[in-house]
């Protein structure tokens, strides 16, 4: 399958950020030395424009952003509503926004494969969970970031 499931699309739709503020995902890339590199991202740094296209905002000069700029590839892992989700992405950089509030590296990504992993005998009950230190401030930053990703 090369598109998001209904469950995962609901998680990444950019809506109801307050409800999703505790969810975190793993974005995997390949480092220059060929090893896997994992980074956590939040619901305020990724948005599904539709079932096949995702946009991601990463802080500039991070290893993850550099890896995606170099290889054009990433894998997103998320846990949501009873299942683990593995999404392979082909990414390309978006042009910088001159009026961006937060200086981010932005990527337009096309889903090349998506797998929903659920067992008949058990539910995935949680994945990575976070607690924001200054929730209102972070939620506002996320809203701005997601709006900028849509442009």
pLDDT by position in tens, the chain (length 151) = 799 999 999 999 999 999 999 999 999 999 999 999 999 999 999 999 999 999 999 999 999 999 999 999 999 999 998 899 999 999 999 999 999 899 899 999 999 999 999 888 888 888 888 889 999 999 999 999 999 999 9
Q: For the chain, list the domains and their CATH numbers.
A: 6-150 (2.30.110.10)
Which element (helix H / strand E) includes 64? helix 63-71
Three-state secondary-structure class, residue 107: strand
Three-state secondary-structure class, residue 59: strand
pTM, two decimal places: 0.89
Q: Write phi, then psi, for 9 (nearest 5 degrees).
A: -60, -40
Burial class (CB in 10 A: 0-12, 13-18, 19+), 78: buried
Distance CA(124)–CA(12), nearest Å, equals 18
């Amino acid at each position: 399958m090369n598109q998001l499931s209904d469950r995962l699309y609901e998680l990444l739709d950019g809506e109801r950020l307050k409800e999703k503020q505790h969810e975190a995902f793993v974005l995997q890339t390949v480092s220059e030395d060929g090893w896997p590199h994992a980074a956590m991202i939040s619901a305020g740094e990724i948005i599904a424009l539709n079932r096949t296209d995702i946009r991601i905002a990463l802080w500039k000069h991070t290893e993850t952003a550099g890896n995606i700029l170099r290889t054009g590839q990433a894998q997103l892992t998320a846990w949501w509503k009873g299942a683990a989700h593995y999404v392979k992405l082909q990414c390309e950089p978006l042009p910088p926004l001159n009026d961006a509030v937060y200086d981010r590296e932005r990527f337009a990504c096309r889903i090349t494969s998506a797998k929903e992993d659920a067992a008949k005998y058990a539910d995935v009950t949680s994945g990575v969970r976070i607690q924001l230190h200054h929730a209102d401030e972070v939620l506002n930053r996320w809203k701005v970031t997601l709006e900028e990703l849509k442009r």
